[in-house]
Amino acid sequence: MNDSFNIRKVIAASSVGTMIEWYDFYIFGMLAKTISTQFFPGTNPTAALLSTLAVFAAGFIVRPFGALVFGRLGDLIGRKYTFLLTLVLMGGSTFLIGLVPSYKAIGIAAPLLVLALRLIQGLALGGEYGGAATYVAEHAPAGKRGYYTSWIQTTATLGLFVALGVIMAVKLNMPDSEFNAEWGGWRYPFWISIILVIISVYIRLKMKESPLFARLKTEGKTSSNPLKESFGRKANFKMVLLALFGAVMGQGVIWYTGQFYAQSFLENTCKLEFEQSRTIMLWAIAFGTPFFLFFGWLSDKIGRKWIMMAGMLLGVVCYRPIFKTFLDDTNVKEWIKSDRDLVLNGDKKVKMDSIIKKDTLKLIVTSESRWNYKRTGFTEKNDDTLGFIGESWTVHPPLSSLAENSGARSFKRTASPVYSNVHLSSGLYWKFVFLVWIMVMLVTMVYGPIAAFLVEMFPTKIRYTSMSLPYHIGNGVFGGLVPFIGLLLTTMYKKDPLVGLWYPIGVAALCFIIGTIYLKNKIDKDVTD
C-alpha cells in the first residue's frame, strides 16, 4: 500500500512538472502570429531573422544540447535536482517572455530578449524529459515499467491540451483587439505559467532521489564523465544510434504529424475556421490520451518493439488516405463547380473603392458571401479591379464571377475567389474528430512504450545522458521539422497538396525497416545495475 502510494507520488510529481514544461513550450508556438507582430515585425529584417532563429533554434537545435548539458548533470549530481533546475529555468523564462515590452516600446532589444529566453526554454526542455522518465522508471517495479512511464508520455499531449484550453479560454472571453493589444490577453498564458511552476517545484522538492542513482552514489559508482562514457565507448554509442534510427526518429515524425501537422493542415489547407480546427484536435486528443497508458501497460506484457513498429507501419499506410479524405471533404472549389446543393446564406456584402490615377479610373469591387453546401458553411471573397472602358460598366456581381462575354472588360483581374472559414456540418465534424483520433492512436502506440524502451537500453550511471540525446534528436529534429519540411515540399511541388506527407512517411518507413531488423523485443526485467 505504502509502495503504491509512493509510486503514485513519484509519477504525479514527475508528470505535472513535465506537463508544465510542455505547456510553456507550446504556448509560444500557438501564439506565434501575435508574438511575431509584438516582437518580430517583418518590416525590420534583423527582427525577422531573429524570429526565424527563435522558432528554429529553440525547437530543433538547442534541445539536443539541453539533453547533453542536463543529461550529464543528471548522471553526475542526480535526477531530482537536475529536473528541478530544468523546471525552474523553463517556467522562469516563460513568465519573463510575458513581461518583455514590445518592439514598439524598446526596439531591437525586444526580439533579442525573447530569443534568449526561448533558447533557455529549449535547453530546459532538452533536459526535462530524460530526467522525468528515468526518475519514474527507476522507481517502478519490474513488470510495470512500461505502464508507469507511460504516465510521463501523456504529459506532452496534456501540455498541448492545457495550452490550447487556456488560450481558447482567454481568447473567447475578450474581443480580438483586446487579446492582441500590446499588454493584452495573449500575455496571460505566459503569466499563468509561474503559478503552475511554483506548485510543481513545491511538489518536486518533497521528493527523494531515485533509489538506483542514490545507491550508485553511495557506492561511489557514478560516472565521472557521462558524455565520454555515453558517446566515446562503442558498446554504448552503437545503442544510442540504434535507439535514434530504429525507434525515436520514427516516433518523432508520427507524433508531430498526428498532433501538429494535422492541425496546421486542417487550418491552412482545408481552411477550417479557428474554433473548429482546434476543438477537433482537443476532442481527438482527449479520446486518445488514455491509450498512452494502455499501450504502456501492453508493452509490459508483449514487449515494446512490435507496438512501436505497428504504429509506424500504420502511419506509413494510413496518412495519405486520411489527409486525402480531409481534402476531399472540404473541397470548396468542387462544390462551386458542381453548383448543386449550394445555398446562399444571407446577403452578399459588396464594397467598392475607386482609385483615380492620371487618366485611368480603377474600381475595386470586394464582395463577401457566406454559402452552405450540405450544411457545411464557407465564406467566398472576391477582390476585383475593374477598368472603365466603353460607356457603361457593370460592377455587380464582381468580375471574377462574370462570364467572359458579359460586356464588362477588365484591364486587370487581380484575384480569383478566396474561400475561408469552412464550418463543417455536425456529421463531418465528428468524422474529422475520428480521423484525427486514429492519428493520435498511432501517436500513443509509438510514444506510450518508448520511455521504458529507452531506459532499458542504457545502464543507470549514464542513462540520463544516453537516452536524452537520441530522444531529443528524434523528437526535436525529425519530429519538429515535420510542419516546416511539409511546407517546403508543398512550395517545391505545388501540384500535390499532400506532398508534405512524404517526409514523415519516408522517415517512419526507414525507421520501421531499421527497427524491425535490428531491435529486439526483449524486456529488460532488471535495470538495477
Partner 1 sequence: MKQVKRYLGIVWILLAPTVIYFLLSSAIEHIDSKKKDPINDPVIWIIILAIFTPITIGLMIFGWYALKGEYNRLPENSKDS
Which residues lie near partner 1 (CB under 8 A)? 49, 52-53, 56, 60-61, 234-239, 241-242, 244-245, 455-460, 463, 473, 477, 481, 484, 487-488, 491-492, 514, 517-520, 522, 524-527, 529
Q: How far is the CB of 481 from partner 1 (least distance, A)?
A: 8
Q: How far is the CB of 265 from partner 1 (least distance, A)?
A: 17
Residue 223 or 400: the one with the smaller Cβ distance to partner 1 is 223
Q: Please state, as a whole number, how many other Cβ atoms lie within 10 Å of the Cβ of residue 136.
A: 27
Residue 235 or 356: the one with the smaller Cβ distance to partner 1 is 235
Q: Which amino acid is it at 367?
A: S
Residue 55 or 280: the one with the smaller Cβ distance to partner 1 is 55
- 3-class DSSP state for residue 361? strand
Residue 190 or 245: the one with the smaller Cβ distance to partner 1 is 245
Q: How far is the CB of 249 from partner 1 (least distance, A)?
A: 9
Q: Which amino acid is it at 28?
A: F
Residue 181 or 488: the one with the smaller Cβ distance to partner 1 is 488
Q: How far is the CB of 478 from partner 1 (least distance, A)?
A: 8
Q: Is 510 exposed, middle or buried (0-12, 13-18, 19+ CB in 10 A)?
A: middle
Q: How far is the CB of 520 from partner 1 (least distance, A)?
A: 5
Q: Which three cell numbers stand for residue 142?
A: 519490474
Which candidate, 457, 439, 139, places its Cα nearest to that of 305? 457
Distance CA 17, CA 21 (A): 6
Express the helix, strand and coil content of the chain in percent, nearest 5 each.
70, 10, 20
Residue 52 or 338: the one with the smaller Cβ distance to partner 1 is 52
Q: Contact 257/320 with Cβ under 8 angstroms?
A: no
Sheet with 418-423: strands ordered across: 342-357, 360-373, 376-387, 418-423
Distance CA 124, CA 118 (A): 10
Q: How far is the CB of 145 from partner 1 (least distance, A)?
A: 11
Residue 282 or 477: the one with the smaller Cβ distance to partner 1 is 477
Distance CA 409, CA 20 (A): 59
